Structure 1
Amino acid sequence: MSNYRFILSGGGTGGHIYPAIAIANELKQRHPNAEFLFVGAQDRMEMEKVPQAGYNIRGLWISGIQRKLTLSNLMFPFKLMSSLWKSKSILKEFKPHVAIGTGGFASGPLLKMASEKNIPCVLQEQNSFPGITNKWLSKKVEKIFVAYDKLERFFPSEKIVKTGNPVRQDLLEIQGKEEKGKRFFKLKENRKTLFVMGGSLGARRINQLVEKELNFFKENNVQIIWQCGKLYYEEYKKYESEMIKVNAFINDMNLAYAAADFIISRAGAISVSELAIVAKPTFFIPSPNVAEDHQTKNASAVAEKNAAILLKENKLDEVFENTFLSVFNSEEKQKELSGNFKKLALPNATKTIVDEIEKLLKTA
């Protein structure tokens, strides 16, 4: 029987949404007659991104707890009760065979109610330091799919399955696309290329760094694909030139990765997993403004294995040029970083996760 019903919940950021969509796509490929329903937070980006991917979504009135006293915090108990009640009603109506949580506030109430109804539940944790929702749910689920080692500090060890993070499938085939990538971005084939990525909205501190170092890059004959983010495009588009390609957003990420010789990136969990597959010399500049500083922890886990360079935001002005040149001028260092990063890649994550979910279907 493949008329299964799968309910998925994860959101707030792309790092929670895209893994859920990747898992749904793999399940749909294996079970074309299956039904899917996503549950998200009603005012967050999943309400737009999930329908774009072709799936139905229901919204809960839920948000996270702020670190200071706010009206939103005072409303939290009411939002939680409302979300638990609505989750119960959604589950009763949809009757899923499995519930899949990928982190974010909305997955908390949904998976709590699903576990109480004895529906098999699984979690996918993208980061090396789990979010509050997944930590709270970990005792209530059958399996927890992780991308990093040492997560038994936070989760019951017998439930952990190291799978890696689901990533875009087109990244698995960037070999041999370097010329195509450089043509696509109108770059010179004989120049070294730096790809700077700061997420879809952009990263202010990374953009400031690139702007400050434009002469440095020019002196070293480095051309740049600069994904500055839609919040900053108007500010930085004036730098567009033969050597600098300024983009608000890049849809063809596989071509940007293929064209790159070096990469500067934030250290969100999905970016780290993608970059391990790409395996180009990478400089991580983690955002210090995320929950529990998990980007620094993600980047540290890679840098400790000599697979990437970690640069702290507050030290950039002092160390960036020398650090960049130490890699740029050494083919040996480039090969070492790439080789070590490649060893950390888990390119079959989505398939492995779905294999594990299918085992639960057989026992359900």
Structure 2
Amino acid sequence: MAKRIIIAGGGTGGHIFPAIAIANALKQQDAAHQILFVGANGKMEMEKVPQAGYDIKGLDIAGFNRSSLIKNIGLPFKLAKSFFQVRSIINDFKPDAVVGVGGYSSFPVLRYAQAKGIPTFIHESNSFAGKSNILLGKNVTKAFVAIDGMEKFFPANRVVITGNPVRPSIVKAEDVPKAEALRFFGLSEGKLTVLAVGGSLGARSINEALEERLSDFVKKDMQLIWQTGKTEMDRWKKQASGKAGIWVNDFITQMEMAYAAADIVVSRSGAMAVAELCVVKKPSVFVPYPFAAEDHQTVNAKKLVDKNAALMVKDSEAKEKMVDAIFALADNRTQQQQLKGNIEKLAIVDADQRIADEILKSI
């Protein structure tokens, strides 16, 4: 029987892409399921979700601004307004279930659904649960998590280990011929290729570390696929101008091509980046974003480092150590194979289907 399901949350690709993957998995089970997304006005979900073919309603809500307390003056009013908007959306749509994927827009939606007795589910992608999810987790039907040990955040009898949903195109990245992927970026075959990604806004520490050593990549006859993010893109492009074997842009639309072309990846360690790198089995150097809530990116990276499945360089030490760590790994084929073999063991490729199954059998 067809169900009506709301998926709430967003703010970053790390929340939006798993949400879309879950929606797709639900529709695969039964195309008659009706799915409505709820996000925050002005955030990237308002663009990405319609592109994926789903309807979305926007809330006038903002998160707590840690850097500028004065910007939080209007927060109680926005929160109150969002609860009225949520009430209207839920009462109109009459969902059989509400799924929260993280991001501050998920909180009022799930809170109201819980008050109405509607089954609620959360997906916690990180190894350290966010505050909203911890609060909501006390009353959810199921809490879907990426790794074991999450009972310290959620009631043990409601925790289901599913892994993190990865975009289908990423799962199929290993089917892309490497030669084709290198051509996509205008690069040559037979040269070691490094992929550097810092998220949609970029990672200053990664970008600045690369900026200072671009000529060393050229001297070593290594290639670089450099996703800079939007912040100061012109600066990074200027530095790379005229240097052979370096592709640079603010965003990579076809990440499966980037993964297929890369021999080594340097990346932030958000939950989705980690999940994707496990699936594509790449030797990786993580530079955790140090200001993530509860420093969860460092926790994410350490889980892999402890299993000899990745390397890690602190953000504060990136300028001094990151590129040398890349070059040392590039020169050590044995270590590359060890990291590749160990990270592959952590891959989960069907998390979206596991989550869809659990939702549908619980409602």
Quick check: TM above 0.5? yes
Alignment of 1:1-364 (within 5 A): 1-2=1-2, 4-67=3-66, 70-176=69-175, 177-238=177-238, 239-240=240-241, 241-361=243-363
Give, in angstroms, the shift of residue 344 of structure 1: 0.8
**Is the CA contact (8 Å cut-off) linking 1:266 and 1:284 kept in structure 2?**
yes
Figure out how many residues of one structure are paired with residues of the other and give that number.
360
**Is the CA contact (8 Å cut-off) linking 2:287 and 2:313 kept in structure 1?**
yes
Give, in angstroms, the shift of residue 69 of structure 1: 6.7
Select between 46-55 and 113-122 the one with higher mean Cα deviation: 46-55
Select between 69-78 and 8-17 the one with higher mean Cα deviation: 69-78
**Is the CA contact (8 Å cut-off) linking 2:62 and 2:78 kept in structure 1?**
yes
**Is the CA contact (8 Å cut-off) linking 2:62 and 2:75 kept in structure 1?**
yes
**Is the CA contact (8 Å cut-off) linking 2:229 and 2:251 kept in structure 1?**
yes
1:280 match: secondary structure: coil
CA RMSD of aligned residues (A): 1.6
Select between 263-272 and 167-176 the one with higher mean Cα deviation: 167-176
Q: 1:228 corresponds to which letter in structure 2?
A: T
Cα deviation per residue 1:142-181 (whole Å; 9 max; x = unaligned)? 1111112221111111111111111111122222521111
Counterpart-to-counterpart distance in 2, 1:50 and 1:122: 19
Give, in angstroms, the shift of residue 183 of structure 1: 1.4
| CA separation of 1:179 and 1:353: change in aligned 2, threshold 3 A | same
Select between 329-338 and 237-246 the one with higher mean Cα deviation: 237-246
Give, in angstroms, the shift of residue 42 of structure 1: 2.0
**Is the CA contact (8 Å cut-off) linking 1:305 and 1:340 kept in structure 2?**
yes
2:194 match: secondary structure: strand
1:140 match: secondary structure: coil
2:133 match: secondary structure: helix
TM-score, reference length from structure 2: 0.95
TM-score, reference length from structure 1: 0.94
2:138 match: secondary structure: helix
Counterpart-to-counterpart distance in 2, 1:43 and 1:321: 36
1:39 match: secondary structure: strand
Counterpart-to-counterpart distance in 2, 1:173 and 1:260: 15
**Is the CA contact (8 Å cut-off) linking 1:41 and 1:47 kept in structure 2?**
yes
Cα deviation per residue 1:171-200 (whole Å; 9 max; x = unaligned)? 222225211111111111111000111112
Select between 63-72 and 151-160 the one with higher mean Cα deviation: 63-72
1:288 match: secondary structure: coil
1:202 match: secondary structure: coil
Give, in angstroms, the shift of residue 254 of structure 1: 0.5
- Between the aligned residues of both structures, percent identity stands at 46
Cα deviation per residue 1:305-358 (whole Å; 9 max; x = unaligned)? 110001002122333354333322221111110111011111111011111111
**Is the CA contact (8 Å cut-off) linking 1:195 and 1:264 kept in structure 2?**
yes
1:283 match: secondary structure: strand
1:236 match: secondary structure: helix
Counterpart-to-counterpart distance in 2, 1:322 and 1:197: 17
